[in-house]
Structure 1
Amino acid sequence: MPLALYLLALAVFAMGTSEFMLAGLVPDIATSLDVSVGAAGLLTSAFAVGMIVGAPIMAAFARRWPARTALLGCVAVFALCHVLAATTPSFSMLFATRVLAAIAYAGFLAVALSTATRLVAPNQKGRALAVLLSGTTAATVAGVPAGALLGTSMGWRATFWAVALLCVPAAVGILSGIRPRTERAPEGSDGGASLASELAQLRAPRLLMAMLLGALVNGGTFAAFTFLAPVVTETAGLDEVWVPLALVLFGIGSFVGVTAAGRLSDRHSRLTLGVATPILLLGWLALAMLAAHPLPLLILVFVQGALAFAVGSTLITRVLYAASEAPTMGGSYATAALNIGAAAGPAIGAIALSGATDLGPVWVATALTGIALLMLLPSLRLIAPRSRSVEVVG
């Protein structure tokens, strides 16, 4: 894989740390700003909503810009938003900075995904996606638990300052790694596709189904992950210091899942989805029933991290293949699919959390994954055709 791809993953690590870090900070933010835990959890949905809106808009706006210019601009705005978030005393302002930071991240990720697919052979989109998403999984393994520890020891604002500082090496990596010759597709490779023709791809059943399934699975993942802290401390009765460990386990699992999917999703996506998705559903059921027992809980957190990211990243790979005739907008479709779920999942989880149990979000994950499985089984041939000729288009 090209060095530039790994440098993009470094930037995704910095920005992904911010996307996921609230899972360990929600209780402290709620206390500090005098809001409920459910309201603080909606900051995750705010971020995801910003990414849903920002991905297609930013991709359309920047589709004729040099990739390096677009990527650097997004990183700069993202860093500024975190400086503002670290200094505001207002929950409303914090909410607004999450939305604006998400729009910047959405633009970055949409451009990065499209750039990544141009850096590799047409039939290696899954491997390219796995490298790029390794930045996200590294964030859950190292960045998010480190943020939780930093937040515990120095307050949640310190974590926002740390993310702003992480943007500096990310920007340096983009400057040094994304050269003009890698910024655009080779002349004529996109067939001179207009914005209208790229948007028209959204009418394709194959693309719509892949996006919907990705949103459902990711929604379930984020519903459970966002409210993992109260499950660990309240349901399982563990001390707060166990929250970062649970996040590390989930992150390690997600890295394993993305890595495995990167090797399988290009050629064996149908098998991956057909086997892993039912096991993912059973895992959420097991987590809901065994969460009061610390050891099974921690084991299942790791397993679910692996399964959720294996299924989710495979579905997003299918989005990229289905959107191969939208060379500049395809990355935004993948980003939107990820974050429609990331917005809806925590929002529904927050509603479920207001009930009598901290396990409401886990049951939401179970329900959303079950719906995805019912839709997936009859549509496997549509979203994951066997013909290699389909796979190498674009």
Structure 2
Amino acid sequence: MPLALYMLGLAVFAQGTSEFMLSGLVPDIAPDLHVSIPAAGSLTSAFAVGMIVGAPLMAVLSRRWSQRRSLLVFLVVFLLVHVLGAVTTSYEVLLATRVVAALANAGFLAVALVTATGMVAPNAKGRATSVLLAGTTLACVVGVPAGALLGQLWGWRSAFWAVALVSAPAVVAIVRSVPAAPAGAPGPAAGTDKGVRGELRALREPRLAVTLLLGALVNGATFCTFTYLAPLVTTVSGIGAAWVPAVLALFGLGAFAGITVGGRMADTRPVPLLVTGGTALLTGWAVFAVTAGSPVAAMVLVPVQGALSFAVGSTLIARALYAATGAPTLGGAFATAALNVGAAAGPWIGGAAIGAGLGYRSPLWVSALLVALAFATAGATAGAARRAARRQVSPCP
């Protein structure tokens, strides 16, 4: 894999840390900016919404730029708004920086997915995608706990400074390592309205739409449980609060292992991975829900489910990029948006289940239900495709 690809992964690591780190900083941000805990929590929601809206919007706006220029603009904006967030004393300004950071993050990831797959052989898109998205899993393992530790030691602003600092080497690396116009990159003519409409037409291809939907469902299941993992293991499993960082790290380590293995198999054996891994994922969520009261079972299943979730999820995204050959720019954008639709919807559904009085075990059942829905969708789609094929080959009466 090219060195530039790992540098893109470093930037994704910084961005993933920024997206998730507020879960440990909200209690400090609220009193410092004189707002309520729910208001401080809305900073996370603002980021998620910005990611969903920003992925296709930023990809369209950057179509006239080279991939290197797009990556640099998005990453520099991301870095600068974190500096602003670190020094502001206004909640409104901080909220605005979160939205802008999400837009820049979404644009960067959308272009980076296309750039990464363009750096490797046509049959290695899965591995390239796994290297890039590994930055997100490492953010869960290292970045988020480190951000929480910095917040405890030097205040929540230090975590924002750290994200900006980690982003800086990636800026230099992109300038030095990413070609101005990688092979296969769309030229200036692709920035015309006709080019945009052509890509949007390509994105309506049924196989691609179904793959993106499956990715959103699996990612929704993942973040439904991950968001409430801390109260789940402390109140249901009986694991002490001091062990929560270790539990989160176990999930992240499993996710890193899963995305690494999934990246290698996504190019060569995607269907067996999706069928076998998806079945194991569904079974694992159900078993976790039943055995959540056991700390031993929880400590075993947390990394296992992290590995299965990211192996299946990253493979679906890789398959979406394979299917989006007619949309070289917007394919990555819609894959990014699908991931974040799941990341936003899953925790919301899980929170609604908890709010309905079903307890902290309920997100596990919601995760199982979302994966089951993904299976049902895939099965229905495959059945419809087989019936359509039979109608085409059957002789006329």
- What's the secondary structure of 1:326's corresponding residue? coil
Residue aligning to 1:100: 100
Cα distance in 1 for partners of 2:223, 2:117 equals: 26
Residue aligning to 2:393: none
- Using the TM superposition, give the Cα deviation of residue 369 of structure 1 relative to its aligned residue in structure 2, in angstroms: 1.6
Cα distance in 2 for partners of 1:88, 1:130 equals: 36
Cα distance in 1 for partners of 2:18, 2:42 equals: 14
1:359 paired to 2:361? yes
Judging changes above 3 Å, is the alpha-carbon distance between structure 1 residues 324 and 294 closer, same or farther for their aligned structure 2 residues?
A: same
Structure 1 residues without counterparts, runs of 5 or longer: 384-394
After superposition, the C-alpha distances for 1:24-45 in whole angstroms (9 at most, x for unaligned) are 44565567666456x7655444
Cα distance in 2 for partners of 1:287, 1:189 equals: 52
Cα distance in 1 for partners of 2:131, 2:52 equals: 22
Residue aligning to 1:260: 261
- Using the TM superposition, give the Cα deviation of residue 381 of structure 1 relative to its aligned residue in structure 2, in angstroms: 8.7
Cα distance in 2 for partners of 1:15, 1:199 equals: 27
After superposition, the C-alpha distances for 1:124-160 in whole angstroms (9 at most, x for unaligned) are 1111101111212222221122223323444433322
TM-score (norm 1): 0.88
User: Is the contact between residue 67 and residue 181 of structure 2 (CA under 8 Å) also seen in structure 1?
Assistant: no
Per mean C-alpha deviation after superposition, the further-off stretch among 221-230 and 28-37 is 28-37
Cα distance in 1 for partners of 2:231, 2:31 equals: 14
Residue aligning to 1:16: 16
Residue aligning to 2:169: 169
Cα distance in 2 for partners of 1:89, 1:239 equals: 35
- Residue type of the alignment partner of 1:80: L
Q: Specify which of 372, 375, 393 is matched with residue 373 of structure 1.
A: 375
Residue aligning to 1:82: 82
Judging changes above 3 Å, is the alpha-carbon distance between structure 1 residues 262 and 82 closer, same or farther for their aligned structure 2 residues?
A: same
Residue aligning to 2:3: 3
Cα distance in 1 for partners of 2:31, 2:356 equals: 20
Residue aligning to 2:347: 346
After superposition, the C-alpha distances for 1:198-251 in whole angstroms (9 at most, x for unaligned) are 011121101110011101111111111122222233333434332221121111
- What's the secondary structure of 2:328's corresponding residue? coil
User: Is the contact between residue 150 and residue 159 of structure 1 (CA under 8 Å) also seen in structure 2?
Assistant: yes
After superposition, the C-alpha distances for 1:327-375 in whole angstroms (9 at most, x for unaligned) are 1221111111111111111222232332432233333222212211211
After superposition, the C-alpha distances for 1:63-99 in whole angstroms (9 at most, x for unaligned) are 1202222112111221233234334556555444322
Cα distance in 2 for partners of 1:374, 1:239 equals: 38
Cα distance in 1 for partners of 2:29, 2:305 equals: 26
Alignment of 1:21-170 (within 5 A): 21-25=21-25, 35-36=36-37, 43-88=43-88, 93-170=93-170
Alignment of 1:263-274 (within 5 A): 263-274=264-275
Cα distance in 1 for partners of 2:352, 2:220 equals: 14
Alignment of 1:204-219 (within 5 A): 204-219=205-220
Judging changes above 3 Å, is the alpha-carbon distance between structure 1 residues 346 and 378 closer, same or farther for their aligned structure 2 residues?
A: same
State the Cα RMSD in Å. Answer: 2.8
Residue aligning to 1:388: none
Cα distance in 1 for partners of 2:164, 2:222 equals: 26
Residue aligning to 1:331: 332
- What's the secondary structure of 2:325's corresponding residue? coil
- Using the TM superposition, give the Cα deviation of residue 281 of structure 1 relative to its aligned residue in structure 2, in angstroms: 1.4
- What's the secondary structure of 2:116's corresponding residue? helix
- Using the TM superposition, give the Cα deviation of residue 324 of structure 1 relative to its aligned residue in structure 2, in angstroms: 1.0
Residue aligning to 1:392: none
Judging changes above 3 Å, is the alpha-carbon distance between structure 1 residues 42 and 213 closer, same or farther for their aligned structure 2 residues?
A: farther
Per mean C-alpha deviation after superposition, the further-off stretch among 94-103 and 170-179 is 94-103
User: Is the contact between residue 232 and residue 242 of structure 1 (CA under 8 Å) also seen in structure 2?
Assistant: no
- Residue type of the alignment partner of 1:199: L
Residue aligning to 2:320: 319
Judging changes above 3 Å, is the alpha-carbon distance between structure 1 residues 370 and 104 closer, same or farther for their aligned structure 2 residues?
A: same
Cα distance in 1 for partners of 2:23, 2:306 equals: 14
Cα distance in 2 for partners of 1:295, 1:153 equals: 31
Per mean C-alpha deviation after superposition, the further-off stretch among 138-147 and 210-219 is 138-147
- What's the secondary structure of 2:142's corresponding residue? helix
Cα distance in 2 for partners of 1:44, 1:313 equals: 23
Identical amino acids, percent of aligned pairs:
55
- Residue type of the alignment partner of 1:224: T
Structure with higher Rg: it is 2
Judging changes above 3 Å, is the alpha-carbon distance between structure 1 residues 379 and 91 closer, same or farther for their aligned structure 2 residues?
A: farther
Per mean C-alpha deviation after superposition, the further-off stretch among 251-260 and 137-146 is 137-146
After superposition, the C-alpha distances for 1:97-116 in whole angstroms (9 at most, x for unaligned) are 32221110000001111111
After superposition, the C-alpha distances for 1:263-315 in whole angstroms (9 at most, x for unaligned) are 11112111111111121112122222333332221221101110110110011
Judging changes above 3 Å, is the alpha-carbon distance between structure 1 residues 100 and 181 closer, same or farther for their aligned structure 2 residues?
A: closer
Residue aligning to 1:390: none
- What's the secondary structure of 1:64's corresponding residue? coil
Judging changes above 3 Å, is the alpha-carbon distance between structure 1 residues 28 and 241 closer, same or farther for their aligned structure 2 residues?
A: farther
Cα distance in 1 for partners of 2:185, 2:296 equals: 49
Residue aligning to 1:234: 235
Q: How many residues of Structure 1 are paired with residues of Structure 2 in the alignment? A: 382
User: Is the contact between residue 68 and residue 181 of structure 2 (CA under 8 Å) also seen in structure 1?
Assistant: no
User: Is the contact between residue 286 and residue 368 of structure 2 (CA under 8 Å) also seen in structure 1?
Assistant: yes
